[in-house]
Structure 1
Amino acid sequence: MQRLHALLASAALVALATAARAAEAPADATQNQVSEVIVTAQKRAVRLQDAPLAVTAFNSQTLKQATVVNLTDLDGRIPNVTLEAVATFPNASSFSIRGLGFGDVESTFEPTVGAEINGVYLARNVGATQDLFDIDSVEVRRGPQGTLDGGNTIGGVVAMTTKKPTGQLDGEIELTGGDRGRLEARGALDIPLIKDVLSARVSIMDLNYGGYLHNIANGATLGGIDSLSERLTLLYTPTDRFDATLVVDHTRDRDKGFPNMNGTPAFGSIAPAPDFLLAELGYAANPNQKPYDVNVTFPTFFNFDTVGASVTLNWRFDWGVLTSITGYREYDDNNVNEYGGAGDVTVGESTAPFFVSQRIQNQDQFSQEIHVASPSGKHFLDYVAGVYYLHQHYALQNLEGGSLFGVYPPAQITTQYANQGDDSYAVFGQVDLHFTDKLTLTAGGRYSYESKDFHNTPPFYFPTQFNYSANWSDFSPKAVLNYKITPDNMAYVQYSRGYRSGGFNGRAGSASSAGPYAAEHVDNYEIGIKNEFLNRRLVVNADAFIEKYNNIQEEVQRLNTVTNADETVVANAGAATYQGVEIETHAVLGHGFSADAALGYLDAHFDKFTANLNGPCAGGEDPYFCGVNDYKKIPLPGVPHWSLSGALNYRTRLDFGVFSANINAAYTSKQYTSLTPINVVAPWFSLRKANTIVNGTVSMATPDEKYRVSGWVKNLTDERVLYERFTVGPLSAPESYEPPLTWGVSVGAKF
């Protein structure tokens, strides 16, 4: 707590100093202003300061200055936002906004935070942690975005836009070398094909990295990355009233695997929690084991391929702009992982890795959106209206084995086959009524209908297949009242509703545990202010919110009345309240210095959580820890009370070139990494301690800025941060850690 108070006091002093230094800058120095930011969260391009919603945006220059090469590099820089990857699945997102997050690779489970690229929604967590190569901008929209962005955005949206062709013959290239064998190559080339009519942009990224996990079983290094990505963009502009953009991309990953460590505790006398099976066998976590040591005796790997294409068409009429966005994406992944983390384990007469899993999965999606937006300008009525369609399909083959099952390999112990088809339809609209130059009322809504067909052959049931189907519908409204206090200061009050569709349990182990379960809803109540001071040398934006989260989908246990045994199901088991405050500041300090700071406060608790978490009561134990109870006192995962970040930037022009530097730090208070039954008796089990991550970059460019060399470091203090610890039923408790200190040196050229 003393550390937090010191940080807050320092932040207050920095804010005061920021305002004072900004006041010293000359009033007519327009180059000493906070850069203008344009966002598209409302289906039209508007100034961020004129958009009555909580949104943070980064342009390509900002991303480059801070050496942001993946969405996860933005983690900690935005108040109440976590942008992480699933530890064992680096291309799968584990995003959380205002505490509403979901980190899973099961394709039947819907995201809570939507991701989109060039206006195309990415329907699954897998593939959402995009490498930000040749990216023009990133927007992070906080709060439910159901009206304009659709379902499964109850937490918010992360929207990426790639660079378009410039119409000029030019290009850029960057080479990077660093620790642990890091080698990166990035390049882009603009080619004018038909002057002022057709142009192309080709970009490529090749990344090789040795990894930071040490396998104590054989001395090998794991966690390495071998990734190749390409993108082609064509821009067609035959007239001022029409343009078409085609984007085709491909990514190929051949990684070494990201196995977990053994975090299994031996509870011993901590009744009534039983020891995990792995602990009972004498393989409890070694307290002297280093955070990046793994014990893996089975070959692990992670293969991932994706291809995508989108076509955006814009027709400009006197009455508005008609836009069509067509998207297609396909993902193929093959992942082998060992979840025990304890090496070979003897169970009975079998000695082998404790628990090995291989997931072979394919997912494809097609989407079509058509919307019309009124012309920008001063009208009494502005509007956006459209229709949307999404079809997606996935197929999964999941193999599991190990000493737990008898032997592995060569015998195929258990195999699950599952596939699902999903069709979604929506119609949406939003109007802005400008009663005066200062007062605007926004009202909108979206009606959605979704149907799913799920087919599952659980382990031990082959060749029997169980078939299910269900559908859901929803109306997500939104209302905003905003008032321009002055041309540079705005206040708004907002209500919005978010929707996360129901579905089926892709990990169902029996016919009765597949579902369906119902949809979730979030009602968001928010007030905010947006301010520009001192001729836009100081920007201060803030908001406060309360979100009511209902019908929460959670994995719980229940009694199977046919087998008379417990089984895990997904049920709508709870309700919760999330509330908090978010503040962001940007300032130009003068003499080449600028600063950014962000503060997030978040408080969340279950209002109810009625579930069976630890199985039936056998007799003699405390009834709170068995059977069906209201576990509303369990801490919600992914909810740090405080998130605080700051960055100091410097840029100056010298006789021999341009020097720039950036240092940023992000503090996150303690939080729980997973909602697990063990939290009932041992809430410390999944606790991630408070941490501060410091990153920095220095760069030197030639006077014309065509050639550049830079050095960067991430996690400068080499802080060991627990990513997550979770339970695999009653078997084991794998854990993983955030990456250690990494560094690199880059050289780049423009031509």
Structure 2
Amino acid sequence: MKAINAIRLMSGLSALALVTAPTFAGAQEAQAEASTGGISEIIVTAQKKAESIQSVPISIAAVSGEQLSAMNVTTLQALQGSVPNVQIDNFANTPNNAVFTIRGIGVIEPDPYAGNTVSIVVDGVPQFFSMGALLDTYDTGRVEVLRGPQGTLFGANTTGGVVNVVTNQPTGEFGGYLRGTYGNWNRFDVNASIEAPLVKDVVSLKVSGIHTQRDGWVTNVWNGEDMGRKNVDAVRGQLRITPNSDLTVTLQGEYVAARNGAPIVVNGGLPGEANHVPEGTFWNGAKLPMYRSPCAVPNQPCVAPDEYLSGNNEVPDQSDMTTKFFVGTIQYDNTALGDITAITGYKRFTLFEYTDQDGTAKTNNATRRRTQGWQFSQELRSSFDVGDRFNAVAGLFYLKTDYNHYQMYHLDFALPGLIQYNVQDQATESFSAFVQSYTQLTDRLKLSAGIRYTHDKIDARSTLDTGLGSEALTSAQWDKFDVVFPGSLDVGGKKSWNNVGWKIGLDYELAQNQLLYASWARGFKSGGFTGRIGVAADGDTPYGPEKVDTFEAGLKADFFDRKVRANLSVFYTNYRDMQVAQIYFDPDTNVQGNRILNAAQSEIKGFELEMQAVPVDGLTLRGSLAFLDTKYKNFLYFDPVAGSTLDLEGFALQNAPRWASTLGANFTTKLPDDSSVVADVSWMYTASKFYTAVVNTPRSTIQPTYYVDALLTYYGPDKKYSIGLWGKNLFDKRYISTVYDSPGYMGLVGYAPPRQFGVSAGFNF
């Protein structure tokens, strides 16, 4: 427990002496250590115990809260491109939905029925829903990114890995901070925290919060106004009770209110497709003409223009999400059963949003969507030692979730007044028991072995009604039809799965601060039922679970009195029954279909190399290089558009760029009055990838990206205050961030953020 408390006290502006941008994630917080001029030790809890990141035998990156704060990062999505072999995106027409892909393993589907392959864990509580998983990062201690299957300690749905978010916990001391930011696009942030002991050394209360807002950087051709504005308020309260040195109880509650602009869909249509709108035409009294499709050249990748344009003439500019999140943690050390940890989590959210699905000023198609969901989880575990050479973590975990979702979909491009009304009701329940052990075979050789049994079950029902309606999307009678067509769908069912996953590994200490490791891990993701159905075949039978076996070897080493650090991991993954989400246009029914397929087998191999160096006092250099080779080994795919079966053997997986790299430099100058100046610059490269299409088509290809970020910050004496300049995407590169190729319908395109810059100031007390 003392080690964990030490982690909570690690936050401080001194961490900025080395790294201060998200691109430092690959550098793993290598801040200069004042006493030795070398690279400091970083403490993480990736294996549910406090230990140095260099002694954890897995591929892991860590980003400190100070780094996030210095570059004014307010959501996890800002880490995109900064962690090797990790992609952090969102779905183009549902930006509240996270799309995390690690080493080519991820889920690209906006609705909850698809589940996750990368688990987002906040203060020990897994976030089941991808909606809202692009967390607001305020008063954050650190973000740990664990690559590869983590099923033994973190359970199902971690075949890709885990993003472990740890917030700053109460320390029992009075203090706090106030920070403000102003930037282009009328960005304005206020972030504050205060802690006050209520009973000295026994009860302490902490309250933190953030307000962030900005204008959108996309212009609406219909009315000339901006699209994609952001306005978020969040507050977190924490009560820490320590009746004695062995017992700590922490109660934590959070409320988040996001009142953002409607999702943006950019029309990437081609002539002859259902949603193509000719360039230069005016519709419904639009102020601006229809823009050129970014995918206007057939059989070529889409290209982002210098000016970002879209269109919304049909629906309110509204995307509202309200989240309530509670965590109760009991840590009881030195019991007869070891150190006991109990974590209770409860989360409830409501997401309500409108989307002009054609992205034009023409009345083609639009949606009104509302999702209400909740989850309850309970984990009880013990960490214990047996003698001097054996220790283990063992526990039980329970999770129950439920969500209700409706989508009212207007398809005027197919038939004026045509409406599809889809309702999803799904409940899941999961129980697991696990143990992870560590045995010191010799003074230098350690065996780790773990196993987890999981029982998952699902109860799902989805309905679809199709007909004609005169009611607008904004009408209170949003489910009213003037005429209901025959053939309404009512599908779903109940299903359960059992699984045994494991991990076994060896690590060998070559020398001081030099670790060699190898492991074999099996991960598991449950099956389910498709919820957003378009045709009968979409949801009448469940899709099956998927499994991965990952073999990994790595080296973690410090050299030259800890002035150089080199971490290398090499891996091979055998991926079976891979779940592949597909949105397609069904030419027989003239409607959009949705389904999840099980690809028989695929394989993934690659490496991650991360390096840091401190050649002279005050200067830190960092860099990373990642390689990823993904392909289907056995996948016979029926293409509904072509009406034929394709053999996809050798085709690459989605959202898996072959190469990625980062470079950065940080220089800290100490001034005589104990103040300092920190300058930092970073460069990120991500190779081409293809996004949401089962078959790698030109229109589904995302171009390579190159970003340069920088900052210059002055810290006053004793770090009491700071003021700095910062910039992201300094060269204002314009890129496509997401595109879904739906032949016959259109390409649904999203744009990456343009240049952002501003000034920030902070005060600590």
TM range (shorter): 0.7 to 0.9
**Of 280-289 and 487-496, the range deviating more from structure 2:** 280-289
2:442 aligns with 436
Give the gaps of 5 or more residues in structure 1. Answer: 1-21, 267-274, 345-352, 616-624
Asked whether 1:491 is paired with 2:516, we answer yes
* CA distance in structure 1 between the partners assigned to 2:278 and 2:683 by the alignment: 43
SS in 1 for 2:216: coil
Note the alpha carbon deviations across 1:496-546, whole angstroms, 9 max, x for none.
Answer: 011111001011234542121110111100000110112222211111000
Mapped contact 2:221–2:360 kept (Cα < 8 A): no
Aligned pair in 2 of structure 1 residues 95, 564: CA closer, same or farther (>3 Å)?
closer
Asked whether 1:648 is paired with 2:665, we answer yes
For residues 309-320 of structure 1, the aligned pairs below 5 Å read: 309-317=326-334, 320=338
**Aligned with residue 213 of structure 1, among 215, 218, 232:** 218
Aligned pair in 2 of structure 1 residues 398, 208: CA closer, same or farther (>3 Å)?
same
For residues 494-505 of structure 1, the aligned pairs below 5 Å read: 494-505=519-530
2:340 aligns with 322
Asked whether 1:613 is paired with 2:619, we answer no
Q: Residue type of the partner of 2:730?
A: L
Shift of 1:138: 0.8
Shift of 1:558: 11
* CA distance in structure 2 between the partners assigned to 1:652 and 1:605 by the alignment: 48
**Of 189-198 and 285-294, the range deviating more from structure 2:** 285-294
For residues 594-605 of structure 1, the aligned pairs below 5 Å read: 594-605=620-631
1:18 aligns with none
Note the alpha carbon deviations across 1:203-230, whole angstroms, 9 max, x for none.
Answer: 0100110110111221000111010000
Shift of 1:570: 2.2
* CA distance in structure 2 between the partners assigned to 1:29 and 1:201 by the alignment: 30
Mapped contact 2:461–2:531 kept (Cα < 8 A): no
**Aligned with residue 351 of structure 2, among 333, 336, 357:** 333
Shift of 1:379: 1.9
* CA distance in structure 1 between the partners assigned to 2:214 and 2:62 by the alignment: 29
Aligned pair in 2 of structure 1 residues 506, 638: CA closer, same or farther (>3 Å)?
same
**Aligned with residue 535 of structure 1, among 536, 548, 561:** 561
* CA distance in structure 2 between the partners assigned to 1:721 and 1:565 by the alignment: 30
* CA distance in structure 2 between the partners assigned to 1:464 and 1:642 by the alignment: 44
Aligned pair in 2 of structure 1 residues 29, 455: CA closer, same or farther (>3 Å)?
closer
Mapped contact 2:399–2:429 kept (Cα < 8 A): yes
How many residue pairs get matched? 692
Asked whether 1:34 is paired with 2:46, we answer no
1:304 aligns with 321
Asked whether 1:368 is paired with 2:378, we answer yes
* CA distance in structure 2 between the partners assigned to 1:407 and 1:208 by the alignment: 37
* CA distance in structure 2 between the partners assigned to 1:304 and 1:230 by the alignment: 14
* CA distance in structure 1 between the partners assigned to 2:306 and 2:694 by the alignment: 24
Asked whether 1:111 is paired with 2:116, we answer yes
1:380 aligns with 389
SS in 2 for 1:458: strand
**Aligned with residue 342 of structure 1, among 360, 365, 375:** 360
Asked whether 1:661 is paired with 2:669, we answer no
Asked whether 1:285 is paired with 2:293, we answer yes
Shift of 1:248: 0.5
For residues 170-569 of structure 1, the aligned pairs below 5 Å read: 170-266=175-271, 275-279=272-276, 285=293, 290=306, 292-298=308-314, 299-317=316-334, 320-344=338-362, 353-375=363-385, 379-407=388-416, 413-460=419-466, 465-514=490-539, 515-555=541-581, 568-569=594-595
SS in 1 for 2:250: strand
Shift of 1:552: 1.4
Mapped contact 1:259–1:300 kept (Cα < 8 A): no
Shift of 1:728: 4.5
* CA distance in structure 2 between the partners assigned to 1:671 and 1:373 by the alignment: 42
Note the alpha carbon deviations across 1:155-194, whole angstroms, 9 max, x for none.
Answer: 1000001111122221100111111111110000011110
* CA distance in structure 1 between the partners assigned to 2:589 and 2:735 by the alignment: 42
Give the gaps of 5 or more residues in structure 2. Answer: 1-29, 280-289, 297-303, 467-485
Aligned pair in 2 of structure 1 residues 401, 485: CA closer, same or farther (>3 Å)?
same
Aligned pair in 2 of structure 1 residues 168, 198: CA closer, same or farther (>3 Å)?
same
Q: Residue type of the partner of 2:56?
A: A
* CA distance in structure 2 between the partners assigned to 1:491 and 1:440 by the alignment: 11
**Of 645-654 and 322-331, the range deviating more from structure 2:** 645-654
* CA distance in structure 2 between the partners assigned to 1:578 and 1:121 by the alignment: 26
Mapped contact 1:676–1:727 kept (Cα < 8 A): no
2:15 aligns with none
**Of 291-300 and 329-338, the range deviating more from structure 2:** 291-300
Mapped contact 2:275–2:413 kept (Cα < 8 A): no
* CA distance in structure 1 between the partners assigned to 2:617 and 2:436 by the alignment: 44
* CA distance in structure 2 between the partners assigned to 1:112 and 1:640 by the alignment: 18
SS in 2 for 1:238: strand
For residues 12-27 of structure 1, the aligned pairs below 5 Å read: none
Q: Residue type of the partner of 1:591?
A: D
* CA distance in structure 2 between the partners assigned to 1:502 and 1:137 by the alignment: 32
Q: Residue type of the partner of 1:632?
A: E
Note the alpha carbon deviations across 1:240-273, whole angstroms, 9 max, x for none.
Answer: 111011111011011112311111134xxxxxxx
Mapped contact 2:274–2:413 kept (Cα < 8 A): no
Shift of 1:634: 3.5
1:571 aligns with 597
Aligned pair in 2 of structure 1 residues 416, 727: CA closer, same or farther (>3 Å)?
same
* CA distance in structure 2 between the partners assigned to 1:259 and 1:517 by the alignment: 30
* CA distance in structure 2 between the partners assigned to 1:340 and 1:55 by the alignment: 40
- Could you state the TM-score of these two structures normalised by the residue count of structure 2? 0.86
Shift of 1:431: 1.1
Mapped contact 1:279–1:732 kept (Cα < 8 A): yes
**Aligned with residue 704 of structure 2, among 676, 690, 696:** 690
Mapped contact 1:65–1:662 kept (Cα < 8 A): no
* CA distance in structure 1 between the partners assigned to 2:570 and 2:99 by the alignment: 24
* CA distance in structure 1 between the partners assigned to 2:728 and 2:93 by the alignment: 21
Note the alpha carbon deviations across 1:570-617, whole angstroms, 9 max, x for none.
Answer: 2213321110010111222323111221110111111122111244xx
Q: Residue type of the partner of 1:225?
A: K
* CA distance in structure 1 between the partners assigned to 2:543 and 2:692 by the alignment: 21
* CA distance in structure 1 between the partners assigned to 2:650 and 2:334 by the alignment: 57
Q: Percent identity?
A: 29
* CA distance in structure 2 between the partners assigned to 1:598 and 1:378 by the alignment: 40
Q: Residue type of the partner of 1:475?
A: V
* CA distance in structure 2 between the partners assigned to 1:165 and 1:231 by the alignment: 12
- Could you state the TM-score of these two structures normalised by the residue count of structure 1? 0.88
SS in 1 for 2:718: coil
Q: Residue type of the partner of 1:206?
A: H
Note the alpha carbon deviations across 1:93-145, whole angstroms, 9 max, x for none.
Answer: 11111111223221111111110100000001111111210001110000000
Note the alpha carbon deviations across 1:292-351, whole angstroms, 9 max, x for none.
Answer: 11122123321111010001101112552011010000110011111212321xxxxxxx
Query: CA RMSD of the aligned region, Å?
Result: 2.5
1:13 aligns with none
Mapped contact 1:557–1:614 kept (Cα < 8 A): no
Shift of 1:281: 7.9
SS in 2 for 1:332: strand
Note the alpha carbon deviations across 1:346-383, whole angstroms, 9 max, x for none.
Answer: xxxxxxx21101110001000000010115x9821111
**Of 391-400 and 257-266, the range deviating more from structure 2:** 257-266
Mapped contact 1:303–1:334 kept (Cα < 8 A): yes
